[in-house]
Amino acid sequence: MTDPLPEEVSADENAEPKIDPADPNAPTLEEALKQITELNKKADEAQDKMLRALAEAENTRRRGERDRQDIAKFSVTSFARDLLSVSDNLRRALNAITPELLDSSERLKTIYEGVEATERELLRTFEKNGIKKVDPLNQKFDPNMHEVIFEIPSADKEPGTILQVVELGYMIHERLLRPARVGVAKGVDMTAGSTIDRQV
């Protein structure tokens, strides 16, 4: 005697179970709608969390990229600041030699040209690395870019105008590497013949 064959299994095992309206445990329409609303709410919350996580990941990636670029751009800041005094001294040496002295000595002229070439090469190297001079002569004093060393009485210049640059400033890319050290105009009271103290 052979065993009875098992009942045939439905071809579509993943088919949605059908709700029998006669089943006393079947949810009411109101309960089913409530469940759908709750499931939609949970799906929306899950999607919102996923979008926030993706946005945070993108922000983190951008911050990392910006930090990497900043490191590449500004890693030489300390070294560059130390080299500025070399540039200053080269310029002082050139300014100390007058045209008369140059005309009087061929040897001095050769030395002058050598120092001048060295200064040019140094400034080219600065520019290649994003370092540029700030020469604010005749500009308005800006406390973010300049450092006042002294005031100069002036009747024809607006107070706060930079009349003398003692030391050039420098930028490295968009950041200040060193402020320019300057002398600024101070107002003059023409009737009393004395200077007017103004805040710079």
Give me the pLDDT at residue 112, please: 93
Tell the burial category of 83 from Cβ atoms under 10 Å away from its Cβ (0-12, 13-18, 19+). Answer: middle
Q: Cβ(133)–Cβ(165) under 8 Å?
A: no
DSSP per-residue codes, 18-67: PP-TT-TTSPPHHHHHHHHHHHHHHHHHHHHHHHHHHHHHHHHHHHHHHH
What confidence category does residue 200 fall into, taking pLDDT thresholds of 50, 70 and 90?
very low
What confidence category does residue 102 fall into, taking pLDDT thresholds of 50, 70 and 90?
confident
Judged against a pLDDT cut of 80, whether residue 13 lies above it is answered with: no
DSSP per-residue codes, 91-153: HHHHHHS-HHHHHH-HHHHHHHHHHHHHHHHHHHHHHHTTEEEE--TTSBP-TTTEEEEEEEE
Q: Cβ(195)–Cβ(187) under 8 Å?
A: yes
Write down the pTM of the prediction: 0.58
Q: Which residues pair with 172 in a beta bridge?
A: 131, 175
Domains of the chain by range and CATH? 131-194 (2.30.22.10)
Quick check: helix, strand or coil at residue 181? strand
Give me the pLDDT at residue 60, please: 84
- pLDDT digit string, tens, across residues 112-146: 999 999 999 999 999 998 999 989 999 999 999 99
Tokens representing residue 135 in the block: 């020469």
Higher pLDDT, 119 or 27: 119
Q: How far apart are CA 190 and CA 199, in angstroms?
A: 19
Higher pLDDT, 7 or 104: 104
Q: What is the mean pLDDT of the chain?
A: 82
- pLDDT digit string, tens, across residues 37-64: 999 999 999 999 999 988 888 888 888 8
